[in-house]
A and B are shown apart, each in its own frame.
Chain A
Amino acid sequence: MKLAFRETLTGFRRAPLLSALSVTTIAFSLFAFGLFGLVAVNLRGALKQVEERVEIRAFVAEGTPVEATAALQGDVAAFPEVAHVDMVTPDSALARARRELGEFSDVFDESLLPASIEVRLKDGYRDPATVKAVAARLQTYQFIDDVRYGEEWVQKLYRVKNIATVAGIGLGLAFAAVAVIVISATIRMAVLARGREISIMRLVGATDAFVRAPFLIEGFIKGVLGGSLALVLLYLANSAIDRWFIHTTFFEPGLAWLGVIGGALIGLAGSAFSVGRQLRRV
């Protein structure tokens, strides 16, 4: 193992420019992939915020006793899909309407707005089918006059979310594939440059595992360095966008480290593949 590390260092020392080129290529491939990841993470965050506003409003029939409304609130809160239930009295509905409508606040009089309950659903239960089902269940209560949830809006939101998810996965896979191809090609160049050394190693009796070891270590180190450099570049890019353009959020630490580990694994896999091919050739 000591010899494998020494050979790895020799490889870096012997071709510093090629090594730097490999690390930079890995970094920029992962940077491009990471930029896409940042867009995806922020888009997902924005959609999540919009999705959290999905709300079912059930209007209570006039004259319904307060106890019955309170019982209804408790009942609905026990639905497995429901995250939160709010009781809106006619007074608070009026106050909210006046607050939201500003200069037209005087168009409402006190008897116009009915009491209602506002239902917010848990994450994962905000698709059109579930929203519709919960709304239908609410409608079955005797003293519920009307149930509204903006059916069309929920469907559009869900469609946008689906498109964003599919596009995200497709583009993400494409970016990842490009990163893997570029990184593998870069590492292959480094391995090919040492083809003579590999043939000599085999000639004097080195096992395939022995020949592979320095290249795998080298690929891993290049992957870690490239991944770390990409992370730094992404952090700087994100900070700049956040400061001068729009508010953005950066990857959570776990995800950021996953990117670096991903880079290392791509480096490792690229090396294993390239050395394997080279070993079959010499």
Chain B
Amino acid sequence: MIRFSNVTMRYPRTGTALQRVTFHIAKGEFAFLTGPSGAGKSTILKLIYMDDQPTEGEVRVSSVSSQGIRARDVARLRRKLGVVFQDFRLLEDRTVEANVAFAMEVTGAAASAIPGKVSKLLTQVGLASKATSYPRELSGGEQQRVAIARALVNDPIVLVADEPTGNLDDRATRGVFQLLREINASGTAVVMATHNLDLIRRSDYRTIEVNRGQIVFDSKERILTPASVFAVKPRREPAPGDSQ
């Protein structure tokens, strides 16, 4: 469903962000995307929601190809995707329900269908009681749940999450992650960029690690390079004379 074929991404100012990256994420799959800062995670996500077009190679999401894509097609594609960010990106002057409804309104959804759908989603993310609150009145975890509800409101086939737990404490992180698992269990593919190795190690989802613009680890494709944090480092035998 998401296919990267020999994707290279170069930015005029910062140089090469990705080099000949190839992978495929299947329908309904959950994939972690990890790696150090500047490794290329956010670039991959931007390419998925077509905020950027690759310098070389092709990105294909559902049936939409990055090659020769027009602005109108990008808008249509984004209606099939849900995107969540570390900084939530909510509209501060609108209530929780208005933030969620907004994503439906801009797609031209029937006005009569919006309140019911919004209410159902807010119940799903555990925020039914906060529907009329403003984002500033919510905790970080709650704001991220609103962002997730907004991302889900158009029934996306993929939920793209860029460090969704980056600003959250452990408890909120667990809550948001659990929510993402439930969303995935209902059939939506999830691509989640994260630095949180504990979160990755505690689950058995596919993990793709990027470093310096290249895939250095892919648990599904059995790619493992020495540059990966998941590579088992050979234990050095203590040499005679090492202090105990």
Which of A's residues lie within 8 Å of B, judged by CB? 3, 10, 14, 196-197, 199-208, 210
What chain A residues lie within 8 Å of B91 (beta carbons)? 196-197, 200
**Among B59-67, B69-77, B174-182, B217-225, the stretch in contact with A:** B69-77
Partner of A207, one of B49, B72, B89: B72
What chain B residues lie within 8 Å of A203 (beta carbons)? 49, 78, 83, 89
Which of B90, B105, B154 lies at the interface centre, i.e. has the most chain A CB atoms within 10 A of its CB? Answer: B105
Which of B's residues lie within 8 Å of A, judged by CB? 49, 71-72, 75-79, 83, 89-91, 93, 102-103, 105-107, 150, 154
Partner of A205, one of B89, B90, B106: B106
What chain B residues lie within 8 Å of A196 (beta carbons)? 89, 91
What are 23 A-B residue pairs whose CB atoms fall within 8 Å in the complex? A3-B105, A10-B93, A14-B93, A199-B89, A200-B91, A202-B78, A203-B78, A204-B78, A204-B83, A204-B102, A204-B103, A204-B107, A205-B78, A205-B79, A205-B107, A206-B75, A206-B106, A206-B107, A207-B72, A207-B75, A208-B71, A208-B75, A210-B106
B89's closest neighbor in chain A, by CB? A200
| A-B pairs with lowest CB-CB distance, top 6 | A205-B79, A206-B106, A204-B103, A205-B78, A207-B75, A205-B75
What chain B residues lie within 8 Å of A206 (beta carbons)? 75, 106-107
A38 to B79, CA, bound (A): 53
Q: Is the CB of A202 within 8 A of B93?
A: no
What chain B residues lie within 8 Å of A199 (beta carbons)? 89
A202 to B49, CA, bound (A): 11
A203 to B49, CA, bound (A): 8
B83's closest neighbor in chain A, by CB? A203
Q: Is the CB of B76 within 8 A of A205?
A: yes
* Sample of 7 more A-B contacts, CB < 8 Å, known A200-B91, A206-B75: A201-B106, A202-B78, A203-B49, A204-B150, A205-B75, A207-B75, A210-B106
A196 to B76, CA, bound (A): 20
A194's closest neighbor in chain B, by CB? B91
> What is the CB-to-nearest-CB distance from A276 to chain B, in angstroms, rounded to a whole number?
11
